Every structure is written in structure tokens, then in C-alpha cells.
Structure 1
Amino acid sequence: MPPTLDATAPGAAVPDRGRADACPGALRLHPADDGALARVRLPGGLLTVRQAMALADAAEALGDGELETTSRGNVQLRGLASHCGAELAERLRAVGLLPSDTHERVRNIVASPLAGLDGHGFADVQAWVRELDARLCASDWAAGLSGKFLFALDDGRGDVAAFDADVTLIAGPDGSALLRLGRAAHGRPVPAGQEVTAVLDAARAFLDALRESGRKAWHLREVPGLLPAGPVPVPAFAGAAPAVGVVRTVASFPAVGRLATAAGGAVAGGLSVGMRFGRAGAAQWRELAGACAGEIRLTPWRGAVLPGSPADRLPALAAAGFRTAPGSPWERATACTGLPGCAKSRADVRADAARALDVAAAAGSPPGMGLPTTGLPVHWSGCERRCGHPAGRWVDVLATGQGYRVTVNGPAAAGAAVDVTNEEMAEAVAEARRTTK
């Protein structure tokens, strides 16, 4: 069956949001079958070497020794003892990873990870990330946002704009920018210097509208009729022209290896690496930190970008288990936790997915599969919640208890579901990823 509708289209059922969201945080641990889980928000996916080392130490001392990146560029620690919350919080505060106890779950900010590194895009959005994070934490009203509410800061290439975040800021040429709400096709121009103010005003207007209407929602897309089409008329737009801009989105992600740079661009360059299902052990994590030139940018595609790092670091990263060669079936392949970590799962989906992907890799991936321009992303799920599935069109591989059901999901998806055994899965998934219609 397809993912649950979330009122994104006329006539779609509105989810019941009469309760608070259950998203875990660094202070609110989530009980799982493999121990407690903590999710550490990393706005823009940004980490210093010291912070990365502190996370590796915490994973070893308090958890299962591994760290897990998420589809929002955050980090999760699993296998935690239920009583370790205070010690974990102390470790995070010591390195600046817990700047606000009251706002830690609303620091959901994704940003173009290659901004300023490859000569593409129109702005280094990291300054926006830091300003937005600081002002979110300083705004009392922002604590009322759901732990699922998402901000996206796009440098103009359209990568994180494709996530259909609740509020998206998109850089344009000559210092211009567009503000987009939810999945709107157009955005309103934002005055220069008012970019972060416009983002915050839009989020606050959403909360105000909910309060005035008595409605309950976690996302803007759940209440499409509550706010006017396009950006809300906040004071930041008082002197702006009424023109709107078409929002450009692309299904792109940083290819692993050495970052390609535009000809003649005075850019930092660096490296990009991938992790199998976004997981890396503490020793791998320390290898990653040792290879960086001062900063790590975790990506929403469960990889890491190392700005300014030289290519001679790639062999050591490959030896540590990171993906450093593009074109593998593992690119844009994700999976939920599955058994034994999640009791709701019908299968050990990560083990099953890994076997299917390794079979595809051994057979030689079809031309273009896994590259940014062709080949759909694929996500394995242990149940109908489909935790962590990608945005847009994707291959849905759902555990049924007797095998898996393979379907192409998302906008303009077509084709019937195919039920397969584990032995048939690799071929069925590879075929579905080649879907073009």
C-alpha cells in the first residue's frame, strides 16, 4: 500500500494531530527494542572535529558504539541505557551540541551541503544556518513548533528545496532570495538582509494561524487552506514587489569522492563520502574527523562532506569502510531500523537490503544506476510507517512477513506492486530503480 496521505492534495485525509509529536531528541530519549535512542539536532549538518569526537566517545561509553545519520542530517545514538540521559546531555553541552534545553527538538534545519565548495549555487548558506539556529533558540514562541517542522536553506541549486520543507529559503543570483511555504510552486522575493527574519516570521505566522483557528497540525502541508497560497504577508515583505518566482528543485545529491568544482571557480573543494544506511562505528567516526580540515557537513542523503580536505585522504576513508567511489547501487539506498531494533518491523530489513545491494554491486550496476541524474532512490521499510523514506519519487520496498513488496511511489508514480522473495528482490529493485515513467 502507498504511504499514508498527509493532506497534500485536495480531498486527502487530514492526519489527527491532537497529540504532541513523539520525535526523540537529545533530552527526550525514545525507548526501542535495542535500548533507548537519542537524536541530536545538527542544523545544516554542521559539526566541528571536537564535536564529532565527542559524539564518538558518547556512542562508545553510553550506547552501542555506532552513530546513525538521518534524512535531515542529524545524528542518532542507539542502544543507550534509559538512565544515561543526564550524562549524555552533559557531554553534548560541553561541546556546544545542546545550546537550548527548551528548543533542542525544533532545530530542524537542512542546508545545501555543497554551498560554497563547488562553484555552483548563489550563496554560502551556512551563515543563514547559524543565524536561524541562534534566533530559533532565542525565540520563546518557537518552542511551540513540532519536532517534525522542517526549515530548508537552499543555495539556489535546488537540492534541499526538493524536500518540500515547511519553510524553504532559496538563494538567487545577485543576492536575491525566495521564500516558499510547504509544497507551493512559487515563492515570494525576500528583501536583502531580511532572509532569516522572513523564515522566522513565516513559522510564527503558521503557529498564530493554528492558534486562532483551533486547528492542530505539525506541518504546513497538513492545513493547505489555513494560510494563503505563497508566502504569508509578513512585515518583512512590506516593501517588496508582488512578483513571485518559480521554485526550482532537482533530485541531486553530493556524489562521493573528490568534489567536482566549476571551471575557474575560487572555491574550497573537498571530499564527499557515503555510509551504509547512514551508520558508522566510533572508530570510523574518528577516522572521518581526522580527515576533515576543520568542519564536517552531514548530508540529508546519509553521507558527509569534508570542506577543503585533500584527495589523498580518500584511501584511508575507503579502508575505514566509507563509500568513496560513485555509481554504486548503494547510492541513495536507505532503510529503516527494522528488526531487532524496532518491534513493529516484520523483518531485519537492513540485513536483507544489504544482501540485495551487494548482489547488484557484484553483478555490475546498470548504466547510470545510482547517479544523480538517473536511477530512483530506494528505501526498505519494515512496516507501513516507512520511517525515513526519501522525498519525491522513490522505490518502496516494504516487508510483508512473507517477503517484500516493491513499488514505485511518489508524485506521478506508475506501475503495479510486485511481491518478491528475498532471493528475487535484488533484480526487482534494480528494475524498479530504472523506472522513468
Structure 2
Amino acid sequence: MAYAKITAAGSEEVQRRAAGGLRAAGLDVGDRVVLSLPTSGVLLAVALGALRSGVVPVMLDPALTATEHAELVADAEAALVVNDQDTLRKVVQGPATELADVPLARPMHYTSGTSGRRKGVWSGVLDETAARALFTEEVELWQFDAADRHLVLGPLYHSAPLRFATHTLLSGGSVLLPDRFDPAAAIAAMAEFRPTTAFCAPTHLKRIFAAGSPSTGSFRLLAHAGEACPDDLKRRVIDTFPADSVVEFYGSTEAQFTVCRTSEWLSRPGTVGRARPGRRLTVDAEGVIWCEVPEHARFSYWRAPDKTAAAWRGARLTVRDTGRLDDDGYLYLDGRRDDLIITGGVNVYPLEIERVLNACPGVRESAVFGVADEHWGQRVCAAVVGDVTTADLAEYAKAGLAPAKRPKDYHLVDELPTSANGKVSRRALPGMFSR
């Protein structure tokens, strides 16, 4: 598997045709186009062409099942669905049109919630002042410029990989794109292209180190986020990459909260840093983290006013993670949302998986949980009560769940553990079945 090098100039031409193709298909400012295809330079250009013409790309995992895909397309009220190569080609055969020099919207990504129902993160179309402020903030934070060669390791339907790639191109740099992540190919790309920047989840780093010795001397920035990074891995990364090049940040699909540079982490191991510029962190009496964000970085949950109201207190936002702040404003995470599993940098919520498993013939009830895993960070597991085999469960999950959500281990039990109030106790399950 090879990496493709996408230049700013080459992508610009495709972006202009894509914007024209979307307009020819009847899309107007504020409309939504679903993009659900494997990573490619053309997909990236269509996303950018949409953003720079005020059309909002809805980025979906191409591995979603047909049912999952249809539910999200309907929820997004998409004006156009691009989920096959023929449609993609038609879009980029449109007449070239003028584009804004910065994105006029944020992509719409779906993030799971404690209800198990995915929520679209919606920012709408931004006015010129807000659009420029959002773009400038990101460029100034990461110092993107025309000399950058950005190595993409994660899929473009995730918010951070797409954000780093688009801002690199818009700053005049080039982007190195795989069709999928492969650690050996990533190592080869580091040697051949000598990238200056990359974004990754710790899982990517684990797999790269397991596959060989990467050439890292060209990097000025290795940004990582998406899941907790074990101390031993963090120290190896710091020792392997150039001095002060490793930067961790904490955030979510909804918003970015902190930045932690190498020297800060070394002096305060375990911290995820301080509030990034333009933001202010607080922790309430229950340990829930709140972040005050500037107006240009705010959002709502698409067609979910109750969930939007629960997430905001004025200008302050929470995604229900918990943590603590030290006297100098450095944040330490105590945990993600109680029932969230982060596997390979992907957020997975048990309730969504349980809904599918509970519909499997013979299943009476199930409980999904995560256990620590050296490869994935966390491993998705399920305890199941009923007259069913593990093979039946695996086959049923394959038909109803995207790959990241399918349990890797099934445990057949007579009953599920419960708490004092009679609710299923997910917290008890990892200790019962951890390897």
C-alpha cells in the first residue's frame, strides 16, 4: 500500500470543480452532502470544496452497515449522498467555480452519546468574521505553512485527521494520504517523504513501533489525542521524535479544550495541558470539566435541542468528562464518560451495541464493556445472558454493527452483575473478565 502526495495547487483545482458539481446538483449554502467513502485525495478535495462554498459535508464511516448509514442520512436531511465512486466522479466533473479562501462551515460529524443515539455536531454556516477567526486560530496554534508535509494516519471521517489535513492544504502545504492505515506503509512514507507534521491516536504509535523503527528526524510536530496515552509509550515517543515536537491535546468532536507540549508533560506527567488560546477551563463540584469557548467555535447538536441545552451553560461547554485542575491550570483527566469505550481512538458507546445484541434471537440481555488492551487501548467485550452461542452473536453483530463496534470477546453468563439499586453494573464486568 502506497501513500499519495496531495499538493495544495493540485487539490485546489479539484476543489473548484467539486464546488461547481455540488452547485450543479442543486446544493445551496447551508445544505448538507453526505461523504461516505474511503480516504482519498478526491474525497478530501470534495470536502474542502463544499466547505469553501458554504455546503456542509457530513462525514460518515464507509464501514457503517446499510441500516446505520440510512439512519444518519435521513437524520442529516442530506441533499446529496456521495457513497460510491461514480457519484464522486460526477461531483468533481462540475464547472470550476470561485471559492472562499477559508472554510465557511465546520464539517458535520456524528458522535455517540450516553443515550446510544448518535448526535450530529452542527455549527451551521459561519459569517466571514467567524469563519476567518476559526481558521486563523487553528493555523496559529499549529503553525501550518507552505513547507509542511502532513502525514495522515487516521480516516478522514474522523474530525481531527480531516481538520489537520484541510488546514495544511489551505496553508499551502502538502498532504500524504493512505487509503487505510498500515504501520509498515506509514514507516515507509516517513522515510520517503520526510513529513513535517502528523496527527495520530496512541494506537497508531503502538502499531508503528511494533512494526519497526520509524524515521522521525523531519518532524516539527507530532500531535496526538483521542485516547489516554500510557506513560511508557509517551516517553518512548518523546525519546524517538525531535525535541519538543510531541504535543498532546484533549478535546472531542464538539470542541478542543487543551494543549500540552513536551516540556509541560515532562514536568507534570499525566497532564493533558492547559486551556488552548481563547478558552477557559473549570471543574464543577462533581468533577465535570467545563470549557468556555469563543463564539466562533460554538455548536449545537443537530435536531436535538434538549441535548444541546444539557451541554451548554452560557458560553461554557461540557462533554461530561471528569478531571481536576492544578493551581497552575493544568488539567488531569479522571475518566471519560462513564460508559464510553475508546478503542483504537474510536468512541464506542455500550448502549448502541447492546441494542443490536439484544435483538439477536436467544438473547435475554447483554452488557457491553471495555477492558485494557495493549493493541487497541481498550477492547470491546460483551457479557450475554441467553440461549445463544458466541458464533451466533459474532455473526449477528457483523450484520448490524460497524467493525469498531463489534465486540472482540463474548462471555456467556447466567446473570449480569447488578448494583445496589438493581441496575446492571458495567464497572464490575472488566474485573470479572479481564485477561
- Indicate whether the TM-score tops 0.5: no
Q: Give the TM-score of the pair, scaled to structure 1.
A: 0.28
Larger strand proportion, structure 1 or 2? Answer: 2
Between the two structures, name the one with larger relative contact order (CA 8 Å, sep ≥ 6): 1
Structure with the larger helix share: 2
